[in-house]
Amino acid sequence: MVPPRIQKLILADYRVGVLVMPGGDRASLGAEALSGLDQIARANKLTEDKRLVAFLDQGIFGSPGNAAALSAALGLDQYCDVKSEQDSRSVKGLQLADLVAHTGGVMLLETLGLLKSR
């Protein structure tokens, strides 16, 4: 078990945003993720302090070039380095993001009455 002091250090430099979209809309996931990141960053004035770095899992864009082009088109490249096609086995922050996504999904399903709690 990780001591609470270390847990706080691990989570101290992370910001978490959640994007909910239909499961069948996988083709637009990359564009929606970057658009959501842009909205969250601008709304919370995260674009002003220091350069952001966003790590995105494999299979969302198809290639780092696609992600870079979309990032530039949205203006994200002005304040954020987008690291796409990352492997969650080597980028530990992605494992945290997977946990947040799973937990949020379960909570949403339960709230909608589609999942029964025990």
Task: Tell me, yes or no, whether 14 lies in a domain.
Answer: no
Task: Tell me, yes or no, whether 10 lies in a domain.
Answer: no
Domain co-membership, 95 together with 76: no
Q: What percent of the chain has a predicted confidence (pLDDT) above 70?
A: 85
Domain co-membership, 31 together with 63: yes
Residues with Cβ within 8 Å of residue 40, at least 6 apart in sequence:
15, 17, 46
**Per-residue confidence band for 83, with pLDDT thresholds at 50, 70 and 90:** very high
Please say if the pLDDT value at position 50 is more than 90: no
As a whole number of angstroms, the distance between CA 39 and CA 7 comes to: 28
Domain co-membership, 73 together with 117: no
Q: How many structural domains comprise the chain?
A: 2
Residue predicted with more confidence, 109 or 19? 109
Domain co-membership, 34 together with 79: yes
Task: Tell me, yes or no, whether 6 lies in a domain.
Answer: no
Please say if the pLDDT value at position 89 is more than 80: yes
Does the global pTM surpass 0.85?
Answer: no
115, 103 contact by CB (below 8 A)? no
Task: Tell me, yes or no, whether 13 lies in a domain.
Answer: no
Domain membership of residue 102 as a residue range? 88-118
Domain co-membership, 102 together with 77: no
Domain co-membership, 39 together with 76: yes
Domain co-membership, 53 together with 63: yes
Domain co-membership, 95 together with 60: no
Sequence-distant contacts of 97-101: CB under 8 A, at least 24 apart: 97/16, 97/55, 97/57, 98/57, 100/16, 100/18, 101/18
How much is the pLDDT for 67? 95
